[in-house]
Amino acid sequence: MLNQYVVYHYICPKKHETMLNVILFGPPGCGKGTQSEKLIGHYGLVHISTGDLLRKEIALCTPLGLEAKSLMDKGHLVPDEIVIGMISGILTSNSKAKGFLFDGFPRTIPQAESLDKLLDLNRTEIDIVLSIQVNEEELIKRMIKRAETSGRSDDANPEVQKKRQEVYKRETLPVANHYKAKEKLELVDGEGSIEEISARLIKVIDRVVLTAQ
């Protein structure tokens, strides 16, 4: 019995205690991208936005970008294999990071399960999932405003925006329950000024994660 214990701890050394891995979760337009900018600066994390990564591929007209564009323009999600492949590469090439801020990922249960496995391989895990709560009327207002300046083809069309909200409810909302079952989910009010919301997010991270260390 003692030998088994020793072997287990030799093969499975402790998790990286100092890493901080955060998921920003919520519907399209809730402010994930906006708040990510604040949090990565505050905690020194590597920012992983699957939306930004896909838009870079689109700008470069890569085969992946062309496939992604046709789906994103209709309000659909990009296939899990593509997105998981992108994340896996970034985790590997940032193995010395202080932690990661996942923005817009995972968006489906298979993506969440793959992320958990990838982090486990790197002897780390998700510390906290911050679910940004914004009512639908406010979301629509923000998206209309963003469409005026973003140049994003998926922002311009109200039908596409509606589709994205439907896809969110059907495919992405279950991800919240996945992390709720692991006691990682925290709901945060996403209405008010950008600074007020950042302060709320930081307060929750500090309370839940840093005091637990």
Q: In b/e form, how buried is each residue of 47-77, taking b as 16+ CB within 10 angstroms?
A: bbbbbebbbebbeeeeebbebbbeebeebbb
**41 CB burial (10 A radius; 0-12, 13-18, 19+):** exposed
Is residue 129 classed as helix, strand or coil in its secondary structure?
A: strand
| Residue closer to ligand B4P (CB basis): 73 or 125 | 73
Which residues ranging from 104 to 143 are in contact with ligand B4P (CB under 6 A)? 104-105, 107, 111, 142
Decide if 152 is catalytic: yes
Nearest distance in Å: CB 135, ligand B4P:
12
Residue 181 DSSP symbol: T
Decide if 107 is catalytic: yes
Nearest distance in Å: CB 93, ligand B4P:
18
* The one catalytic residue among 14, 32, 56, 117: 32
Planar angle of CA 81, 83, 84, nearest 5 degrees: 65
For 84, the token pair is: 């998981």
Q: Does position 23 bind ligand B4P by CB under 6 A? A: no
Which residues ranging from 169 to 208 are in contact with ligand B4P (CB under 6 A)? 193-194, 197
Q: Which stretch binds ligand B4P (CB under 6 A): 40-48, 58-66, 70-78, 205-213?
A: 70-78
Nearest distance in Å: CB 69, ligand B4P:
10
